[in-house]
């Protein structure tokens, strides 16, 4: 079995890096400077026509989009049980949260970052930023994780998306979301991923 991971530091690809470290599987890291345009070259576009990272290639099969990668890898590698089985009642919420990250969380950030105004919440999939925030806060609840006592790939995907919002000042750093972030960043898998991120950031410093 071979597993390649195309990655660039200081990008959303950190989510997949963290997931791989939580899974504890061997992979070949194909790291590059995002400003080099490597992800727009023909061989990369054959793996992901969007020309975006992350991308993983497992035994010749390419998988793109963070949520799809999370489902694929977590179902494939069961060592650390980061995905509920199809027969587990928690599977439905697990999948909902994975799609929540790209379908609700990120567009809601766009509403804030780009100052989209007068958008009827009934006409867009993410509803509104405030609705997203209330739903996420309620979903975390007493935790410790999105699926209660069970840590899953959904925590990696949603959790890192939440942290992105905290870093850019649109998500609360205190209260339930702050406590959730502390639990996430205290995990060994996160710490290993952060060490790799720091190393690769030094290899490819900002210009």
Domain of residue 145 covers 91-187
Q: Describe the strand order of the beta sheet including 61-64 as a list of residue ranges.
A: 28-31, 3-7, 55-58, 61-64
Reply yes or no on whether the pLDDT at 152 is more than 90. Answer: yes
Question: What is the pLDDT at residue 207?
Answer: 73
Reply yes or no on whether the pLDDT at 170 is more than 80. Answer: yes
* Residue 80 vs residue 146, higher pLDDT: 146
Question: What is the pLDDT at residue 125?
Answer: 87
What average pLDDT score do residues 121-149 get? 94
Question: What is the pLDDT at residue 137?
Answer: 97
CA distances for 30 relative to 3, 46, 87, 122, 195, angstroms: 10, 16, 35, 42, 16
Report if residue 160 sits inside a domain: yes
Q: Are residues 105 and 174 in the same domain?
A: yes
Q: What is the pTM of this model?
A: 0.95
Q: Are 85 and 91 in contact (CB under 8 A)?
A: yes
CATH number assigned to the domain comprising residue 43: 3.40.30.10
Q: Given pLDDT bands bounded at 50, 70 and 90, which one contains residue 118?
A: confident
What average pLDDT score do residues 64-68 get? 97
Q: Are residues 107 and 63 in the same domain?
A: no
Question: What is the pLDDT at residue 30?
Answer: 97
- Angle among Cα 156, 159, 163 to the nearest 5 degrees reads 130
Q: Given pLDDT bands bounded at 50, 70 and 90, which one contains residue 78?
A: confident
What average pLDDT score do residues 159-171 get? 96
Report if residue 86 sits inside a domain: no
Question: What is the pLDDT at residue 79?
Answer: 76
* Region of poorest pLDDT, from 68-82, 92-106, 157-171: 68-82
What average pLDDT score do residues 139-156 get? 96
Question: What is the pLDDT at residue 80?
Answer: 78
Q: Are residues 158 and 197 in the same domain?
A: no
Q: Are residues 98 and 47 in the same domain?
A: no
Task: Give per-residue pLDDT as tens, 16-34.
Answer: 999 999 999 999 999 999 9
Q: Are residues 138 and 196 in the same domain?
A: no
Say whether 49 sits in a helix, a strand or coil.
Answer: coil
CATH number assigned to the domain comprising residue 172: 1.20.1050.10
């Amino acid at each position: 079995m071979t597993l390649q991971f195309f990655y660039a530091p200081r990008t959303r690809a950190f989510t997949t890096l963290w997931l791989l470290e939580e899974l504890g599987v061997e992979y070949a890291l194909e790291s590059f400077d995002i400003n080099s345009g490597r992800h727009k070259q023909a061989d990369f576009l054959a793996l992901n026509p969007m020309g975006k990272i992350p991308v993983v290639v497992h035994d010749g099969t390419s998988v793109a989009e963070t949520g799809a990668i999370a489902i694929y890898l977590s179902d494939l590698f069961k060592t650390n049980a980061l995905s509920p089985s199809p027969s587990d009642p928690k599977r439905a919420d697990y999948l909902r949260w994975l799609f929540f990250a790209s379908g609700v969380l990120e567009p809601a950030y766009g509403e804030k970052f780009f100052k989209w105004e007068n958008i009827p919440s009934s006409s867009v999939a993410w509803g509104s930023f405030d609705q997203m925030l209330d739903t996420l806060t309620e979903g975390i609840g007493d935790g410790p994780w999105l699926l209660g006592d069970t840590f899953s790939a959904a925590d990696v995907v949603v959790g890192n998306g939440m942290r992105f919002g905290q870093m850019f000042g649109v998500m609360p750093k205190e209260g339930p979301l702050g406590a959730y972030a502390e639990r996430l960043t205290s995990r060994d898998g996160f710490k290993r991923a952060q060490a790799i991120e720091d190393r690769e950031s030094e290899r490819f410093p900002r210009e």
